[in-house]
Chains A and B, each alone.
Chain A
Amino acid sequence: MKFARLTRHLGLAVVAFVVVTACGSTSSGTATCSTAKTATSASACGGMDALVAAAKAEGKLNVIALPRDWANYGAILDGFTAKYGIAITSDNPDGSSQDEVNAVQQLGTTSRAPDVLDVGMAVALANLTLFAPYKVATWSDILETQKEPTGLWFQDYGGFMSIGYDSSKVPAITTMDDLLKSNYRGKVALNGNPKQANAALNGVMMANLASGGTLDDISKGVDFFHRLKQAGTFVPVQATTATVKNGTTPVVFDWDYLSAAHGKDVPAWKVFVPNNAILGGYYAQAINKNAPHPAAARLWEEYLYSDEGQNLWLKGLARPVRQAAMEKSGKVDKTAAAALPAVSGTPKFMSADQATAAKNYVVAHWDAAIS
């Protein structure tokens, strides 16, 4: 009896000794980032290793409005967890950019508030006070026009507005005006409501450009959809993967990378970007000032802007912001880059003012135009 107790105590002591020395060696080996909350870059935090250690210590990351099928986010979420062992809580996958900002504001400093945001430009520009400045390691690869100077927001990926269609159910589309023909009756839908959704507003703007309009005046686009509605071509139903597969909405205006995802369900799905209306749009990353897991949030940004993260977005058929720099350095995923929808011509982008003007016009005239 006594001998058994002795060996047990000895065993425990050995285990304790091993554990203590193991712990001790990690803490003396690498510095930990204690000021993650206000760190404006990885170096300010004591280097990448310190950032990784601090993030692992936090152990969790809260993200919001990142559907798994949006620009290959599913693989990115899994890749981050696999690489660093940090569990990700992904909330409100169908949320809009405004919903993300609402959650940040309403959940304040609680532990379930989102750590990072992926928002449209209009929402990013309107909510600078909620973000913490941070510059990722590959900061210099991002063009000046695509980031905020102190790092409050920085663009991540983008694409071009397109018309996706099921070539087995409707004839091929070569110009925007094809849609006015009778074989598209009851088959065309927008991805969302332009008074609410970024993608839909850009869809109307693309129709505007293809109808001869300019970035400053979206009226021709609204007019185009009005004509579509009168002809019975435009249906107001919400286009989802299910309605596309089922054949109720075989023609959808959407970002090209989102449209391409329909190819999973519909083998004959094609994505068409009009030559005279190449309208691009980028989304932006931002870190919540009151992020409950600040080190993990910053590590997430580092991961997204690493070659690995950017290539995963490329696989999702989105155009990552560092694509040009990666092509020069040869680190780009060539097969994924080749799979991008072909675009010939100069892309146009709406400025903040143009987007506001478009929004104002749409809010005033859209409902009347399509009812």
Chain B
Amino acid sequence: MAVAMRSVQRTRRIKLQVFRIIVFALAAVFFLIPLAAMVEFSTRGINGERTLEYWTSIVQYPDMIKAIIASVQLALITSVAMLVLLVPTMVWVRLKLPQLSRIVEFVCLLPLTIPAIVLVTGLFPMYIWLGTNVSDSILTLAFAYVVLVLPYCYRAIDAGLGAIDVKTLSEAARSLGASWLTVMWRVIVPNISNAILNATLLSVALVLGEYTVANVLLYSNLQVELVHLGRANAGVSIAVAVASLMFAFVLLVGIAFVGGRRRRTQSEAVTNLGKGPVQGSAG
């Protein structure tokens, strides 16, 4: 029986590896070819020769640094605010108010159903008020951005929460005397760390790539400055687009690394805890 199972498992593993290779190969072809076309175009000179002049003109653009800093700050503020707002609320709804879950889900989907150009007309009165009474700074865009990232982050965190048994974990922690803060921070969050990481990645990527709301509100974030810069000529417009993608990618890989390192130590602790009695019982 055990031998038969082992050979079944081996064929399954081989089939799985074949499947993985095919999927990754197809994905690589589909996703890399358009990017390669952009890189080729951005290094193509007027007479077909290879040139880096469009790329070097990016670093010479004066307002770029200011815009990059503003966008990175916005990404940071938006991600933190989104997590603080969303994670406790979603856990709380799962535990205490399950009847509200559909409403929260719908509300979180709403920002995605309204095209940004219309949503911003609704945001104008609030931004005029903010501009005159609180602050005119570009960082006030974070208020709007938290709303814009809600749909994506809700879905990612919901998938994570659905994969763990929130009720049991929290009841166990509470019965051991933990406060709600401890339950959130030290029990739930480490278990959905992947989901939180994905939500953060989505949120940072959205803020770095956001153009419409900032543009209509006449703020100058990274994408708005890139469009300015791209008007110089065709090569520059594509070079800045590729540069923007690379910048976001490097930033996200950095975040994924930091998140990954924390996860490794956490999960090692958890698995070490769990290894005790279970491992002892043999089949």
Residues of A that sit less than 8 Å from B by CB: 62, 64, 67-70, 74, 89-95, 99, 103, 106-108, 110-112, 114, 240-242, 244-246, 264-267
Contact = CB atoms under 8 A, between A and B. Distances in A.
Given A112-B136, A242-B238, A68 B232 contact: yes
Contact of A245 (B215, B231, B235): B235
A265 B218 contact: no
Interface string B44-79: 101100000000000000000000000000000000
Nearest to B47: A267
B54 to A, nearest CB: 11
A170 B136 CA distance: 51
B218 A108 contact: no
Contact of B46 (A90, A91, A242, A267): A267
6 contacts: A68-B232, A89-B220, A103-B218, A245-B44, A245-B234, A265-B46
Given A106-B124, A108-B128, A265-B46, 10 more contacts: A68-B232, A92-B215, A93-B227, A106-B128, A110-B128, A241-B233, A242-B234, A245-B44, A245-B235, A267-B47
B132 A110 contact: yes
B130 to A, nearest CB: 10
A265 B227 contact: no
A69 B232 contact: yes
Given A108-B128, A242-B237, A242-B238, A93 B231 contact: yes
B228 A68 contact: yes
A265 B220 contact: no
B131 interface: yes
Interface of B: 41, 44, 46-47, 121, 124, 128, 131-132, 136, 215-216, 218, 220, 224, 227-228, 231-235, 237-238
Contacts of A90: 228
A227 to B, nearest CB: 30
B234 A64 contact: no
B102 to A, nearest CB: 34
Given A93-B227, A110-B131, A111-B136, A264 B233 contact: yes
Nearest to B121: A106
A246 B235 CA distance: 10
A93 B232 contact: no
Contact of A107 (B215, B218, B220, B228): B218
Contacts of B216: 92, 99, 103
Contacts of B232: 68-69, 74
A108 B124 CA distance: 11
Contacts of A67: 231
B228 A93 contact: yes
Nearest to B237: A242
Contact of B231 (A69, A95, A265): A69
Nearest to B215: A92
